[in-house]
Amino acid sequence: MTDAPTDPRFAALPAVPGKIIAVHLSYESRAAQRGRRPAAPSYFFKPASSVAASGATIERPAGTELLAFEGEVALIIGTPARRVPLERAWEHVGWVTASNDWGLYDLRGNDKGSNVRNKGRDGYTPLGPQLIDARAVDPTALRVRTWRNGELVQDDRTSDEHLIFPLAQFVADLSQHFTLEVGDVILTGTPAGSSVAQPGDVVEVEVDAPDTAGTPSSGRLVTRVVEGPGDFDESIGSLPQVNDLQREEAWGSRQAAGLPSEPEVKTPGLTPELRAKLLEAPVAGLSQQLRQRGIRGVFIDGPKSDTPGAKLVGTAKTLRFVPLREDLFKAHGGGYNAQKRAFDAVEEGEVIVIEARGNAGSGTLGDILALRAKARGAAGIVTDGGVRDHTVVAGIDLPVFSQGGHPAVLGRYHVPWEHDVTIACGGATVQPGDIIVGDDDGVIVIPPALAEEVADATLAQEAEDAWIAAQVEAGHPVDGLFPMNAEWRARYEAEQAQSGA
């Protein structure tokens, strides 16, 4: 073992770590909670200056609200690892211990995915207090538990059914890209149960191997939360800020954060049978049937099909842009912003509907995002703004309805703000899950509860209109025929009955 460092912050470690690498998402329980499951591990770095010993205090800056704990298993490299295969990777782990990957979600949006400020602050990586010899434990048989003020809030295992990726995979994967050196630390992600702590709270984390003889344990890693100074200087950096998405993810759920529940879907989704009916039904006929039922404000004004003849049917996934304000674009416009998150999360059969306030003076998407939507199985895209790379997007096999092409980038007029909320697109209110239908006449929003009834009525009316057209073509005058009087109605119904329609 390397000589132990003299700085008390690193007392539990074999050396001052040259690198601390943290995994974004690794537990099945956390993935279920977040609603996304990664196909491969992803990482971020934390500075060695963020390390703290057991018993230390952690500061939540005055004026902030979302300091969240994350109990984790920490791996400490015992022998250098460079391009090691998965089956040999665990041999390079020298020790295992407890860690708490604290984060200040008030700074998370500003970090744009890097986690530099929200997780890199002094004291935000407590480790210890004891090391477990990695050779003495099975990496699939570890347990991590977290207590807040004495209450158990996290309890999970590292077995295959609990982890998305085995612990050894992180070592093998990272060693493909750089050398892991003795003392380097890998924080392996947190399970469900991570939440927000307040000044005065005490949070404890323990890692052990309960099924191993002697039950090797890291002991309780203790951190006390205190209020620290909040004197952020706006002239040299961005200020902390929060929104409901950060509150939901910091607390673990909308309910825990005290936020209202998402709107409930009252009706079944778009079934294959209903989709087939709507593909056949014209938007003009659907609009007429909705008007007859007192629903008028459902036509999305402005967007037209970028590929004439295309038919669009799907359920709405909404994305909202707000007017450009330079400070807000700086905080929300770059990195993994709401626009990119929406396109990355669109599901098969969904239509991305974008609120751009009818402003077609810049692009609201381009060819890359259109390709991403197509790859995800999206049914199409509707925007009341413009489209960059218009000709290329129109050539992609994906229905896109927009106000036409524009070469300007998003930041000319728009800030990507939020997704999966109620929006206004082309003068129509659109909620997540609403049914969207588009053709060469335009785009309409159908309340899910009425979709089946309206589709059936539209198809019945189409059949009737086709019969009327045939009579007009045969030379009959429209008077009494369009709309049908009692005599013509009787003839129509008799023919329908005779044909078995």
Q: Identify whether residues 330 and 439 lie together within a single domain.
A: yes
Q: Identify whether residues 17 and 122 lie together within a single domain.
A: yes
Which runs of E-coded beta strand occur in 260-375?
Answer: 299-300, 304-305, 312-323, 350-355
pLDDT of residue 262: 60
Q: Is-contact 352 436, C-beta < 8 A?
A: no
Give the per-residue SS3 of 429-468.
Answer: EECCCCEEEEECCEEEEECHHHHHHHHHHHHHHHHHHHHH
327 is in an annotated binding site: no
Q: Which two tokens stand for residue 31?
A: 């993935």
pLDDT of residue 215: 95
Q: Is residue 343 part of a domain?
A: yes
437 or 483, greater pLDDT:
437
Q: Is residue 333 part of a domain?
A: yes
Of the candidates 1, 2, 27, the one whose C-alpha atom is nearest the C-alpha of residue 101 is: 27
With 60 as the cut, is the pLDDT of residue 1 above it?
no
With 90 as the cut, is the pLDDT of residue 135 above it?
yes
Confidence category of residue 3, pLDDT binned at 50, 70, 90: low
Q: Is residue 77 part of a domain?
A: yes
Confidence category of residue 44, pLDDT binned at 50, 70, 90: very high
User: Mind giving me the DSSP string for 378-430?
Assistant: --EEEESSBBSSHHHHHHSSS-EEES-B--S-GGGTEEEEEESS-EEETTEEE
491 or 127, greater pLDDT:
127
pLDDT of residue 267: 42
CA separation for the pair 454, 463 (Å, rounded): 14
468 or 316, greater pLDDT:
316
In this prediction, residues 438-464 reach a mean pLDDT of: 93
Q: Identify whether residues 17 and 158 lie together within a single domain.
A: yes
Q: Which of 17-26, 178-187, 287-296, 327-336 bottoms out in mean pLDDT, i.e. has the lowest?
A: 327-336
CA separation for the pair 189, 164 (Å, rounded): 10
In this prediction, residues 475-501 reach a mean pLDDT of: 83
Q: Identify whether residues 242 and 339 lie together within a single domain.
A: no
In this prediction, residues 432-457 reach a mean pLDDT of: 95
Q: Is residue 409 part of a domain?
A: yes
Q: Which of 67-81, 138-152, 260-274 bottoms out in mean pLDDT, i.e. has the lowest?
A: 260-274
Q: Is residue 494 part of a domain?
A: no
Q: Is residue 499 part of a domain?
A: no
pTM higher than the cut 0.75: no
Q: Identify whether residues 197 and 231 lie together within a single domain.
A: yes
Q: Is residue 93 part of a domain?
A: yes
Boundary residue ending a domain (429, 452, 475): 452
Give me the residues paired with residue 405 across strands: 387
Q: What is the DSSP letter of 365?
A: -
93 or 5, greater pLDDT:
93
- Residue 419 sits in a domain of what CATH number? 3.50.30.40
164 or 468, greater pLDDT:
164
Query: What are the tens digits of pLDDT across the range 14-36?
Result: 999 999 999 999 999 999 888 88
Q: What percent of the chain has pLDDT over 90?
A: 77
CA separation for the pair 211, 137 (Å, rounded): 9
pLDDT of residue 265: 41
Half-sphere exposure of 450 (CA within 13 A, CB side): 18
Which residues have C-beta within 8 Å of that of residue 355, sequence separation ≥ 6? 318, 319, 320, 321, 384, 423, 424, 425, 430
Q: What is the DSSP letter of 136?
A: G
Three-point CA angle 265, 269, 271, nearest 5°: 165
CA separation for the pair 279, 53 (Å, rounded): 63
The SS3 call for residue 493 is helix
Q: Identify whether residues 236 and 292 lie together within a single domain.
A: no
366 is in an annotated binding site: yes
Query: What are the tens digits of pLDDT across the range 337-378?
Result: 889 999 998 999 999 999 999 999 999 999 999 999 999 999
Q: Identify whether residues 196 and 289 lie together within a single domain.
A: no
With 90 as the cut, is the pLDDT of residue 301 above it?
yes
With 60 as the cut, is the pLDDT of residue 266 above it?
no
Q: Identify whether residues 15 and 162 lie together within a single domain.
A: yes
pLDDT of residue 384: 97
Q: Identify whether residues 200 and 284 lie together within a single domain.
A: no
Q: What is the DSSP letter of 23?
A: E
**Which structural domain range is residue 321 located in?**
274-452
- Residue 39 sits in a domain of what CATH number? 3.90.850.10
Boundary residue ending a domain (202, 218, 251): 251
Cα–chain center distance at 171: 27
Q: What percent of the chain has pLDDT over 70?
A: 97
Q: Is-contact 461 451, C-beta < 8 A?
A: no
444 is in an annotated binding site: no
In this prediction, residues 89-105 reach a mean pLDDT of: 98
Q: Identify whether residues 18 and 91 lie together within a single domain.
A: yes
CA separation for the pair 98, 451 (Å, rounded): 53
Q: Which two tokens stand for residue 323?
A: 């007017």
Boundary residue ending a domain (186, 218, 251): 251
CA separation for the pair 294, 291 (Å, rounded): 5
Q: Is residue 55 part of a domain?
A: yes
Looking at the 3D structure of the chain, how many domains does it have?
2
389 is in an annotated binding site: yes
7 is in an annotated binding site: no
pLDDT of residue 494: 84
pLDDT of residue 340: 92
Q: Is-contact 407 418, C-beta < 8 A?
A: no
Q: Identify whether residues 181 and 308 lie together within a single domain.
A: no
Confidence category of residue 480, pLDDT binned at 50, 70, 90: confident
75 is in an annotated binding site: no
In this prediction, residues 37-57 reach a mean pLDDT of: 95
What mean pLDDT is reported for the chain?
92
Q: Identify whether residues 171 and 55 lie together within a single domain.
A: yes
